[in-house]
Amino acid sequence: MIDWIVILQAGVATGTVLLFASIGEILAERSGVMNLGVEGMMLIGAMFAFKVTVGTGNPWLGLLIAMLAAGALSLLHAVVTISFQADQVVSGLATNFVGVGLSLVLGEGLSKAGTTALLPNWTVPGLSALPILGPIFFTNHSVLVYFGYLLTPVVWYYINRTRPGLHLRAVGEYPSAADALGISVYGLRYAYVFAGGLLAGLAGATISLAISPGWFSEMTTAGQGWIAIGLVIFAQWNPWRAMAGAYAFGALRRLILDLQGPTMLLWFPNPFRFQSPGFFLQMLPYALTIIILVIGSRAAMKKRMGAPAALGLPYVRGERGR
Amino acid sequence: MPEIVNAVEMRGIVKRFPGVLANDHVDFNLRQGEVHALLGENGAGKSTLMNVLAGLYKPEEGTIVVEGKRVSFGSPRDAIAAGLGMVHQHFMLVPSQTVTENIILGLDTPRFVLNLAELDKRILALQEQYGLKVDPKAKIWQLSVGEQQRVEILKMLYRGARVLILDEPTAVLTPQEIKELITTLKGMVASGHSIVFISHKLDEVLAIANRVTVLRQGRVTAAGVSTAGVSKRKLAELMVGREVVFTLEKPEGVPGPVVLEVQGACAENDRGLPALKDLSLQVRAGEIVGIAGVAGNGQSELAQAITGLRRCAKGHVLINGEDIINRPPRQAIERHIAHVPEDRTGVGSAPSLSLAENLIMKSYRAAPVSTGWVLNRPVIRSQAEESKEAYDIAAPNIDVQARLLSGGNLQKAILAREMSAQPKIIVAVQPTRGLDVGAIEAVQRVLLAERARGTAILLFSEELEEVMSLSDRIAVIYEGQIMGEVKPEETTLEQIGLMMAGQRLETIRGEADDHR
Amino acid sequence: MTTDNAAAKGFQFPNSLRLERRLGVPAWLPAATSIGAVIVALILGGIVILAAGGQPLKSYQFILKAAFGSVGVFNDTLVKATPLILVGLACALTFRMRLWNIGAEGQFYMGAWGASAVVLIPLLPATTPRPLMLLAMALAGFLCGALWGFIPGYLKAKLNVNEVVTTLMMNYIATSWVLFWVFGAWSEGGFQMSRMFPRTAWLPRLTDYAKQVPFFSGLTLHGGILIGLVAAAVIWFIVYRSKWGYEIRLIGDNPRAANYAGINIVRNTVLVMMLSGGLAGLAGMSEISGVVHRLQGAISPGYGFTGIIVAWLAKLNPVAVILVSILFGGLLLAGREIQPSGIPRMLQGIILFCVIASDVLLRYRIRLVRR
């Protein structure tokens, strides 16, 4: 039988990976820079987290290095797109290739490393006794999951209710206005792209040190970086919606796994059981990403809202337009 | 005897851009408590000079002295800190944010958390002080252009600016709003501010400013001349460098049948607000109908509706009786409607393609430019050379990228392209905006020549003088409707100004009758 | 960028380096920047190899020998280059319209599937004469790839759905689809591959003519290279000489101007994505029919992604695509045996980065201004 509590609990855990990656990308895109290299940055984060932890036995150090490594990669993208004004899409792809390639090269032989110390899991006393919500949100989760609970409202508040958040939004909507008032457009964009990189690295570390420990070359991330980018559009650049979407996706992946196991499904022999149709189930997350993209794009068209207005456009002082 | 203190002194300013010397050893003084106009035609270097003063550009040479102290600005922030605030011609406001958010943008306080309610109150107090009313909670995209300008001014006042630089402030205002602005400026001067305003309009300069400095091609031709003793003709000469004739030769027109008719058009603008409200209009062959009105009252949307670039919810656009409303732009092109668009670089040309490739944008589908699927390159090149000659387009060759052409030359290229298709109808939107006098004359001559050929021309222009001198009939647009149609010789600027501000012609005439 | 921005960022160049907007681009510059970028990339890659404990010079020597050292290996390089030419063309075509087709890998797989379907369902009996069989396979491959390009193309054209993500998602879906057939209905004896294709479904190879020309013995270069060369010529003609190519270039440069000029952007978006998908599908067919001769789970070492880099390095020029494909074909070939195995992928990424970084030199020039 399908245990929904378990699925949702797993969803929150797995979804935390997407959550970190999405929020990082939201910050970068709000400042006007699209970073498609999320998959590569996540992979670098996952690799470094595992490698450093295996080497030093300290998962926290692994986490830190992972974030910094991914951040460094994002700076490459930042320099090329902000200072050199290269096309953001192509640069993002290049970031991706470099990230994937570098992780494969530097992670050579890592998959044979066996198990290692992981980040601790917690159960929140008291809250974990709540019916339904308790087991799903507060029981036996990695510390990173709880960090995700904190990160989302903090980022939301920061963007919408603080002065630096106001500047962030201005830089992404109408950089020439921000520039004319003395806000450093380049500086802020660098900062938020870097922040996005840090969070992508965090997402990768979450995989290799908490959710699916280990190193499996490219399969470690299995396209989640791209799903995160789709999630950002679906979330209309809002951290809360990103959180909801991330958890939903996480639950879906667990559901897919569970559907392939049992011999009986809903009182019928399970057609999905580890057979060829299993491949169709594997397609689901990716097909679903397309669907949420369509939904997000239609919503954007209807509400005439949508992307930060200056997203994807390099800023040059003195040129007319944004 | 009171000392005349210079609020700002600029000495020997030199500013270069690739390929052009924008400011050539320019001196400029602004006295404390005066309104000083910076006059020149488009491209003379006025905006550049003030951008240097506002800290956006760093000059190659020269010094700036503010209130007796020498300054060097590394960024706009430094200029603002020194008390200099600039209101740009193209507003630097974030459309999706509120008035208050825009005003406090870039400031160091409040440190972290935004208390919007309290800030709203502070802004309201500031508004009271200067008489500039606008709702602090409104989002910029919801405001009219005049209100947006007030936000820009408030932005500078909030930062304690003592010197205000206004770049072409009246371009977007109705005559009544211009009067209000003048009152506001006089009030500011009275409370100790000094004002520079940049303009290319002689009448305004003489009416508003105490002194005027004239720039021509980057150099000063008249420095700080008092406006009391100088004539319009003299100023024009200083601006342009030669005897300027103010009237155009416009022969008597013999309008033919109605070629273009708009009936009851209703359309929304990009933000989903109604832009055209049941608008009706007729244009005959061989006549120029000028649409006068303040920017943002539906002109763009009307031009787009006629040329197939905008959907209309209701109404008809009849070309020789055939309704082409809501049909794709290709159909308008095939029916010989030429469109000189408002946005030369954003819509009217492809910046990275060559001049020759830009010239075939409308003609590439058929012979002789193409045969079957293939483009006929020799024909394209020879036609391009011809157009370059005929329209006097200054470019090294026909292969140069369109982005490198100056505004005037790009406009000539667009005209060459549109006219070469032997159009029956021309929709010309702000065709002379941003051009120097030579180019303006060239454009106007082309339009008159087409008129003589029997083409129906719909001219949209923000320059009332141009509309008055070129049109056979003038229609005034306000909030998506035509307030009235008049002949230029039968109307006054005041009448048109009233229509531009929303009064219907019948009402104006009715009131005039009442007053008799 | 002027010294204003430089000062704001805190850079302190000696004697003040200034970046000035260029007024025109000399004809030799794009090629020079591409070549320069590759050289810089190789140096950077060498540094990473050193960091990973390898020996860069030895690695590069190995690559050169393994890719161009003899007629035999050069033949293999060309074989690897064949699908790259087609995928590179596919990407170059859409990039001209600023349509980012990242789905060439998936379209490749679908093309391979389509071509296999002709043989394996079978849609044509094994006794069909070879030219007809190959034609049918090519057509099927093209159509399947075109369909795979149509879906994201349509979504982008009508709903403005980000094509980068959709084409990428379609990649994953395509590989699952192929796996489904390879593990299921077409599985040969329970293994993860289909049965071998009949000879009539094989693209002719040089070695087939070894009897007539002994030199050709052992050379596996196959008819796919002809498909690639013809496609390059066709695409070149379309882009530079035809009306449609003008429309594509105009849309890519300024979509609002294209709309104003009466060009149907929706239709062009869909058509270009379909043609691009079709070309990538042809690449799949060529690989299946010319090299692998069966359908299996692994038929591409990332051709679809390498094609993106090929297109960008070739600055979207179809003729340059051919040359760059050969270079990268060699890289892929040598990469199979090199340790660590991630090096070719990493080098590709670094090359792409260097190329886009060098693009700045096409827009600005560096001037030394003495203080």
When CB atoms are compared, the residue of C5, C49, C165 closest to A230 is C165
pLDDT confidence bin for B338, thresholds 50/70/90: very high
- Position A200 scores a pLDDT of 97
Give the strand order in the sheet containing B61-66.
Answer: B20-31, B6-17, B61-66, B69-71
Which of B190-194, B269-273, C103-107 is predicted least confidently?
B269-273
Q: Going by C-beta distance under 8 Å and a sequence separation of 6 or more, which residues neighbour residue A178?
A: A167, A170, A171, A185, A188, B94, B105, B106
* Shortest Cα distance, chain A CAs vs residue C104, angstroms: 14
**Under 8 Å between Cβ of C148 and C170:** yes
- Position C263 scores a pLDDT of 95
When CB atoms are compared, the residue of C2, C23, C261 closest to B361 is C261
Whether pTM > 0.90 for this model: the answer is no
For residue C266, the chain B residue with the least C-alpha distance is B328
Residue reference for tokens 């594997």: A282
- Position B247 scores a pLDDT of 58
Q: How far apart are CA C341 and CA A160, in angstroms?
A: 46
Q: How far apart are CA A274 and CA B397, in angstroms?
A: 68
- Position A92 scores a pLDDT of 93
- Chains sharing 3 or more CB pairs under 8 A with chain A: B, C
Q: Given 3.40.640.10, 3.40.50.300, 1.10.1530.10, 3.40.50.450, which CATH number is that of B6-240?
A: 3.40.50.300
Quick one: chain C helix, strand, coil %, rounded to 5? Answer: 70, 5, 25
Q: How far apart are CA B185 and CA B471, in angstroms?
A: 33
* Shortest Cα distance, chain A CAs vs residue B152, angstroms: 11
- Given a cut of 60, is residue C12 above it in pLDDT? no
- Position B84 scores a pLDDT of 92
> For residue B211, what are the β-bridge partners?
B36, B226
Instruction: Say if A312 falls within a structural domain.
Output: no
Closest CA to C148 of C119, C168, C162: C168
What are the domain boundaries of chain C?
Answer: 53-339
Mutate one of C353, C361, C362, C366 to test the A interface: name it (highest A CB count within 10 A). C353
- Given a cut of 60, is residue B243 above it in pLDDT? no
Quick check: A104 and C5 CB within 8 A?
Answer: no
Task: Give percent above pLDDT 70 in chain B.
Answer: 97
For residue B116, the chain A residue with the least C-alpha distance is A161
pLDDT confidence bin for B118, thresholds 50/70/90: confident
Quick one: chain B helix, strand, coil %, rounded to 5? Answer: 35, 25, 40
Quick check: B404 and C3 CB within 8 A?
Answer: no
**Under 8 Å between Cβ of C9 and C323:** no
Quick check: B106 and A167 CB within 8 A?
Answer: yes
- Position C8 scores a pLDDT of 33
Q: Which residues of B touch C (CB under 8 A)?
A: 18-19, 56-58, 74-75, 307-309, 328-330, 332-334, 339, 341, 343, 346-353, 357, 360-362, 364-365, 370, 373-375, 377, 400-401, 404
Quick check: B58 and C3 CB within 8 A?
Answer: yes
Quick check: B271 and A304 CB within 8 A?
Answer: yes
Total length of chain C: 371
Residues of chain A neighbouring C159 (CB-CB closer than 8 A): 294, 297-298, 301
In which region does residue B113 sit, left (phi positive, over 0), alpha (psi from -120 to 50) or beta (all else)? beta
Which is more confidently placed, C228 or A273? C228
Which of A244-258, B247-261, C83-97 is predicted least confidently?
B247-261
Instruction: Say if A318 falls within a structural domain.
Output: no
- Position C79 scores a pLDDT of 94
Q: How far apart are CA B387 and CA B466, in angstroms?
A: 26
Quick check: A279 and C352 CB within 8 A?
Answer: no
pLDDT confidence bin for B364, thresholds 50/70/90: very high
pLDDT confidence bin for C167, thresholds 50/70/90: very high
Residue A53 identity: T
- Given a cut of 60, is residue B153 above it in pLDDT? yes
Quick check: B357 and C2 CB within 8 A?
Answer: no
- Given a cut of 80, is residue B300 above it in pLDDT? yes
Residues of chain B neighbouring A315 (CB-CB closer than 8 A): none
Quick check: B106 and A162 CB within 8 A?
Answer: no
- How many CA atoms are closer than 13 Å to the CA of B502, on its beta-carbon side? 4
- Given a cut of 60, is residue B246 above it in pLDDT? no
Residue A93 identity: L
Task: Give percent above pLDDT 90 in chain B.
Answer: 44
Residues of chain B neighbouring A179 (CB-CB closer than 8 A): 76
- Chains sharing 3 or more CB pairs under 8 A with chain B: A, C
**ipTM score over 0.90, yes or no:** no
For residue A292, the chain C residue with the least C-alpha distance is C161
Beta strand B20-31 pairing with B6-17 = antiparallel
Residues of chain A neighbouring C102 (CB-CB closer than 8 A): 93
Phi, psi of B166 (to 5 degrees): -115, 120
- State the residue range of the domain holding A63: 4-303
Quick check: B271 and A170 CB within 8 A?
Answer: no
Instruction: Say if A314 falls within a structural domain.
Output: no
* Shortest Cα distance, chain C CAs vs residue B427, angstroms: 13
pLDDT in tens, B349-360: 999 999 999 999
For residue C262, the chain B residue with the least C-alpha distance is B330
Q: Given 3.30.2310, 3.40.190, 3.40.50, 1.10.3470, which CATH number is that of C53-339?
A: 1.10.3470
Quick check: A176 and B92 CB within 8 A?
Answer: yes
Domain B255-336+423-516 belongs to what architecture? 3-Layer(aba) Sandwich (3.40)
Residues of chain A neighbouring C1 (CB-CB closer than 8 A): 83, 316
- Position B516 scores a pLDDT of 56
* Shortest Cα distance, chain B CAs vs residue A280, angstroms: 41
Total structural domains in chain A?
Answer: 1
> What is the arithmetic mean of pLDDT over B207-234?
86
Which of A23-27, A69-73, B430-434, C225-229 is predicted least confidently?
B430-434
Which of A70-74, B230-234, B370-374, C163-167 is predicted least confidently?
B230-234
- Strand positions, DSSP E, B217-271: 219-226, 258-268
Residues of chain B neighbouring C249 (CB-CB closer than 8 A): 350, 353, 357
DSSP C296: B
pLDDT in tens, A38-60: 999 999 999 999 999 988 889 99
Which of A189-193, B13-17, B127-131 is predicted least confidently?
B127-131
Residue C91 identity: C
> What is the arithmetic mean of pLDDT over B484-499?
84
CA A100 centroid distance within chain: 16
Quick check: C184 and A36 CB within 8 A?
Answer: no
Is any Cβ of chain B less than 8 angstroms from the Cβ of C364?
no
* Shortest Cα distance, chain C CAs vs residue A61, angstroms: 20
> What is the arithmetic mean of pLDDT over C219-224?
91
Axis-axis angle for helices C243-253, C224-241 (nearest 10): 70
* Shortest Cα distance, chain C CAs vs residue B13, angstroms: 16
Q: How far apart are CA A146 and CA A208, in angstroms?
A: 17
Residues of chain B neighbouring C30 (CB-CB closer than 8 A): none
Quick check: B56 and A317 CB within 8 A?
Answer: yes
Q: How far apart are CA C240 and CA C275, in angstroms?
A: 16
When CB atoms are compared, the residue of C7, C254, C258 closest to B351 is C254
- How many CA atoms are closer than 13 Å to the CA of B331, on its beta-carbon side? 14
Flag residues of chain A having pLDDT under 70.
1, 114, 261-277, 302-306, 317-322
Closest CA to C310 of A36, B353, A90, A223: A90
- Position A320 scores a pLDDT of 39
| Mean pLDDT, all residues of chain B | 87
Quick check: A98 and C349 CB within 8 A?
Answer: yes
Quick check: A167 and B95 CB within 8 A?
Answer: no
Q: How far apart are CA B365 and CA C14, in angstroms?
A: 54
